[in-house]
Amino acid sequence: MMGSPVRQPMTTSSTILILLLLLPVMASSTSTTETCPMNVYEPAPEGFRLKDDILLAGNPEQRYLPSQYRRRIDGHGYEVCSCIQKPCVIKCCKPNKLFIGNKCSISNETHEEFAVPKLVTENGTVETYERDKFHIIYGLQKCIDNASKYLLTASNNDGNFVVSENGWLFNELGLDIAEPGQFCLEQFYDLEFHIATMVCSRENSNNDINMYYIVSMALSLPFLLMTFLVYALIKRLRNLHGKSLMCHITSLFVAYSSLILVQLTIETADNYFCVLLAFIIQFSFLSSFFWLNVMCFDLWWTFSEHRPLQGHFKQHESKKFIIYSIYAWGCTSFISIFTYYMHQASFSQSNNKLYPGFGKESCWFSSTLATVIYFYGPIAIILISNLLMFLHAAVMIYKKIKDTKIFNQSDYNKNIDHEKQRFVLYLNLFLVMGVNWLAEVISFAFGEKFEAYIWYITDLGNALQGVLIFLIFVCKKRVFRLISQQFCPRLELFKTTTVSTRNFYNSSIVSKSQFDLELNVKNIIPSEAISGNNQNLTNL
């Protein structure tokens, strides 16, 4: 019973080492390539000679094609391609440095000196090559077509990996993972000094797609800022719904700014800075969804005929905004604090499934389960609750429209129209954020079962949310009219009508008609719903 776990690694190791000996010999094809692998040169050995534009040097003598050697800058002698004489392997960090977090640093703790491994398992390096077997190049590799990089370890269920005698990276089944120059090896402090590899992704279009996302998010930022300023500077828009929208926009602005910063500095970001950005991105995105949930709830509350809070209308709105703020910021803070606790807890770090792992492999979560627990899970719950509230609100609107046909009061019909307009307004916002992010959650869970271009479309829609929010909440005739009245009152760019400019806060005539209306329709809608909720219907 105790012997079986010990024999199994030996069997696997022996099989893979035999596989190494049986791998196709690629040295000859490497030596005859038309270009210099990795573009690394060194001074030609003494005693070299040129024959028909072929440089012959070394012992045993090695042939260098014209594209594999060059004149030295000082004009004295030649430089030959280093990776022709013997295979090259890239070490991610400079000599005497290793990865601590996601940054190359010097470790004060005692550890084995770096050596190119033949086989790496979850228990570490099984066997290494001789020191002079490879020419070691220091520094992160340059990926073909600027492809993205990902971390491959033998301890995160990726499986064992092998470095062949010719510098190729294989998995334990003998399938190639990366060619020479498209991966680098390094010891990782967080992996108990075990060796892992940074591999260039073979999906060469990823970098271009990421750049499109960065440009789209950067395009969203000024539109988010303009929307915020419009609602902040115009008093009549700073009601409960306007303030909720401003909080939502602020959260999105911080989230997009942090995401852009991560994308632009991911190669050079300090580990602490990387972790900080990860927490900011998590907090800001979650808070944007909780504020979307607040707006959906307030809309549902309006149509569900619940009794409003006691007190004057403005006091009533102030109390509601305080309650909504405690809910939105409080829930977001609770999730972030819990994430921070799990990130710092020692028992969590020993369990990779629950450990958030910010800064371990990237400036985001390091495992699928952690991403679900701390990010996509809460978002999915919010989106489902929003959908249910919208469906119920739609049913209530339909019932009220049917009830209004019994009466012919124009004021009441106008109030219902304003309610419908606000419903359509928030429905558009829900479609912009909800549907795209619901697709984001689905792609996270089942993305491999669908074509990638489908998720590119939804991701692009998420990146352009700032533009869409500006179109929904600012590009309206009434908002343009308010902007004109605020900053250019003499121009009268948009004509004022008695219906659209009616002010529920100040007009005693409207108050009188609303009072008469309440007496006529009190059997249909409770008076609290009319007096409490309809006073700000025209402010969106």
Question: Residue 248 domain-assigned?
Answer: yes
* Residue 348 reports pLDDT greater than 90: no
User: Of 98, 104, 92, whose CA–CA distance to 184 is shortest?
Assistant: 92
pLDDT value, residue 40: 83
Rounded Cα distance, 227 and 466, in Å: 9
Q: Specify whether 413 is located in the same domain as 364.
A: yes
> Which two three-digit tokens encode residue 164?
């062949």
Helix, strand, or coil (residue 57): strand
Distance CA 359, CA 103 (A): 10
Q: Answer with the residue of higher pLDDT: 531 or 280.
A: 280
345 and 282 assigned to the same domain: yes
Per-residue pLDDT tens digits for 49-79: 888 888 888 877 888 888 888 888 777 888 8
Same domain, 263 and 292: yes
Both 301 and 377 in one domain: the answer is yes
Residue 312 included in any domain: no
**In-domain check, residue 480:** yes
Q: Residues 343, 280: one domain?
A: yes
Residue 128's φ and ψ, nearest 5 degrees, are -120, 160
Q: Using the structure block, give the residue that is written with the tokens 């419903």.
A: 423
411: its two tokens:
């004021």
C-alpha to C-alpha distance for 195 and 128, rounded to whole angstroms: 11
Q: Which of 31-45, 205-219, 333-347, 349-363 has the highest mean pLDDT?
A: 333-347
Domain's final residue, options 158, 182, 201: 201
Residues 351 and 225 in one domain: yes
Are the C-beta atoms of 298 and 324 separated by less than 8 Å?
A: yes
Q: Which two tokens stand for residue 470?
A: 């500006």
CATH number for the domain including 462? 1.20.1070.10
Rounded distance between C-alpha atoms, residue 510 and residue 499, angstroms: 11
Give the pLDDT confidence score for residue 260 in this predicted structure: 93
Alpha-carbon distance of 196 to 210, in angstroms, equals 25
Question: pLDDT tens, 225-245?
Answer: 999 999 999 999 999 989 999
Which token pair is 156? 């995160």
Helix (H, G, I), strand (E, B) or coil at 33: coil
27: pLDDT strictly greater than 70 = no
Considering the chain, what is the average pLDDT of its residues? Answer: 76
Are 123 and 271 members of one domain? no
Give the distance from CA 101 to its chain's centroid: 19
160-204 pLDDT tens trace: 889 998 899 988 777 788 888 899 999 998 888 889 999 988 765
Minimal CA–CA distance to 245: which of 46, 445, 428, 71?
A: 428
pTM given for the model: 0.59
DSSP state of 197: E
Q: Which of 26-35, 84-93, 311-320 is the least confident region?
A: 26-35
CA dist 439 → 135, 283, 457 (Å)? 47, 20, 10
Half-sphere exposure of 185 (CA within 13 A, CB side): 28
For residue 254, give the amino acid letter. Answer: V
For residue 245, count other CB atoms closer than 10 A to its CB: 27
How far, rounded to the nearest angstrom, does the alpha carbon of residue 93 sit from its chain's CA centroid? 27
Q: How far from the centroid of its chain's Cα atoms is residue 204's Cα? A: 19
Name the domain count of the chain. 3
Enter the tokens of residue 420: 């419908």
Alpha carbon 498 to its chain's center: 47
Question: For position 515, what pLDDT does the model report?
Answer: 31
User: What per-residue confidence (pLDDT) applies to 203?
Assistant: 61
Q: Is residue 403 part of a domain?
A: yes
pLDDT the model gives residue 419: 62
Domain residue limits at 149: 89-201
